[in-house]
Amino acid sequence: MMSMLSAGSLILGLVAWILPIINLNRYRDDNHENKRWVVLVIISLSACAISLCFQIFYHHHLVKIEEWSTLMDTAGAVAFVSSVLLIITILLNAATLLVYQKQDAK
C-alpha cells in the first residue's frame, strides 16, 4: 500500500504540469475564451502539493520501519525532484496567470 504513494506522487506531479500546459494551449486555440482557467491553476497547485505530501508520507513510513538504507539512497534524489516539480509548477502557473491577466486587462 505504501508503495502506491510513489506512483500517486508521480501521477499527481504530471497532472500539476499538464494542466497549465492545457490552459496555455486553450488560450492560444480558443481565441482567449477560457473562463475556467483559474480552476485549472488551483487544481494544478493542489496536485503539486498533494504529490509532495505523498513523498513526505512515504519517507515517514520508511523512518517508521527503520529502512535507513533506502532513505539514504533516495533522500537526495527526492529532494531534487521535489524542488524541480515545485519550481516548474509555479513557473507554468505563473505564465498562465500572466497570459490571462493581460487578456483580462484588455
- What is the pLDDT, as a whole number, of residue 105? 63
Whole-angstrom distance, CA of residue 31 vs CA of residue 43: 23
The contacts of residue 47 (CB under 8 Å, 6+ apart) are 12, 13, 15, 16, 19
pLDDT at 70 over 90: yes
Give start and end residues of each alpha helix (H) in the chain.
3-29, 37-64, 68-105
Cβ-proximal residues to 16 (8 Å cutoff; 6+ apart), any chain: 44, 45, 47, 48, 51, 85, 89
Summarize pLDDT for 18-40 with one digit per residue, the tens: 999 999 988 876 565 667 889 99
pLDDT at 12 over 70: yes
DSSP assigned state of 47: H
